[in-house]
Structure 1
Amino acid sequence: MIEAHVSPNSTCDEQCRTLVCFFAGVLTYRDNFEDAAIEIAKRYQNAKIVVVFPYGIANGTSGTSLYRLLARQLTEVGYDLAREMSRRVTQSAQIIHENLAEADHVILIGHSAGGVIAYRAGLYLEKMYGIQRAQVFAVGSPKHFLKDIPFNQRFTYITGQNPDRITQIGTWRRPGSRLYRGRPGREIQMEFNPSHQGWRFHASYFLRSVWTDSNQQFHANSEDLVSKIFELYPGD
């Protein structure tokens, strides 16, 4: 069941200049995006930050209940990867629209399967409501077939330096298709905390997760990620 809430790190409630929406993937907990939300609040003026869980929240589940939740979520993700539209896309777009008001800037940031929802919800907003200012960032997400359309110029795909199995799923172009031959406007590889491996790496993009590089320079995953997003789209 889709869930959403306004981040306590928002710096605006009404008539906000910027709307930022995070979209979660599977097995995500309620506070997983708050480190990144803190960084968003530092950089974007009058920002309303909304966190959307298209596949539900993992809080309060454990043991066999957690496995059942994961099984259901993976089934829903498979459905969303195979189809351009689902109720999770339309409901997510409606949540964006309800919180949009007169915001000048709309930033949709999806993690894992949430990146697919962010892309399609942004496209749905454009088609149904004529909102053509949404900037979409998919981080550590599976690939999905893309049409060659102008919307893709506002779509950025971000991966890390370590192998992430989720980013190896799917492809942008369908072989032999004249319709699905698009690509993201930008594909960027970033350095994240190298101490994380496997699923821990995949889960850590939006966490603070501090580390130092070979030059003894301090880094934090959430800070570096949001800094890159701000560099690409300062919202001026």
Structure 2
Amino acid sequence: MMIFPYGMANGISASAFIRLLARQLTQVGYDVVREHSQRVVNAGQILREHAADADQLILIGHSAGGVIAYKVGLYLEEKYDFRGVQVFAVGCPKFYLKDIPYNDRFTYITGQNPDRITRIGSWRKPGSRVYRGRPGREVQLDFNPDHQGWRFHASYFLKSAWTDSNEAFHTNSVDLVSKIHELYPGN
């Protein structure tokens, strides 16, 4: 299991996983409050190198990856004048947003019952004249109703099958990717 850009968790013991998770939460907190953390700069440089000829880029991030995706896209726009970034943050904590046109290309996706991570933070900083922004779109999807609490936070990209009240077959991952494609058609 990869926790990009925070480290790998494959084959490690439970105690080592807890230490990794504690370190990750510290790093996530740092990335949330810093505009251009080193992880944002590094990811931005990697994308710039590999997508130099691209007219458009879609960045999709889950949890803390949603924060990084947003900030990397903004970094590419501010530093390299790259205007073709579309960001989809899935199940990520909220973080202070400036009221800027870039936010129109930022879509925030949660489930029908927002999980614990999506309840963390705020888009607006009380009393601030700068941090008064919001995502361009906020979307709630109906995901597998059997996934609740922490289990739900980890299930956005699962292929676990379920049927809705109309007996229509669904998987979280297919529904999520379909919604992203619907919101950003033709690309």
Same fold, TM exceeding 0.5? yes
1:70 & 1:103 partners in 2: Cα distance?
A: 34
1:61 & 1:215 partners in 2: Cα distance?
A: 42
Q: CA deviation at 1:154?
A: 0.3
TM-score (norm 1): 0.77
Unaligned runs of 5+ in 1: 1-28, 31-51
Q: What amino acid sits opposite 2:150 in the alignment?
A: W
Partner of 1:116: 67
Q: Which runs of 4+ in 1 moved over 4 A?
A: none
The within-5 A match list for 1:1-236 is 29-30=1-2, 53-236=4-187
SS at match of 1:157: strand
1:68 & 1:97 partners in 2: Cα distance?
A: 32
Q: What percent identity do the matched residue pairs reach?
A: 70
2:165 & 2:179 partners in 1: Cα distance?
A: 20
RMSD: 1.2
Closer, same or farther in 2 for the Cα pair 1:235/1:106, shift >3 Å? Answer: farther
Q: What amino acid sits opposite 1:192 in the alignment?
A: F
Quick check: 95-104 or 66-75, which moved more?
95-104
Structure with higher RCO (Cα < 8 A, 6+ apart) = 1
Q: What amino acid sits opposite 1:195 in the alignment?
A: D
Q: CA deviation at 1:109?
A: 0.3
SS at match of 1:108: strand
Closer, same or farther in 2 for the Cα pair 1:235/1:57, shift >3 Å? Answer: farther
**For 1:67-106, what per-residue CA distance to the aligned partner results, in whole angstroms no more than 9, with x for missing partners?**
1111110110111112212101111111211210322331
TM-score (norm 2): 0.96
2:143 & 2:160 partners in 1: Cα distance?
A: 9
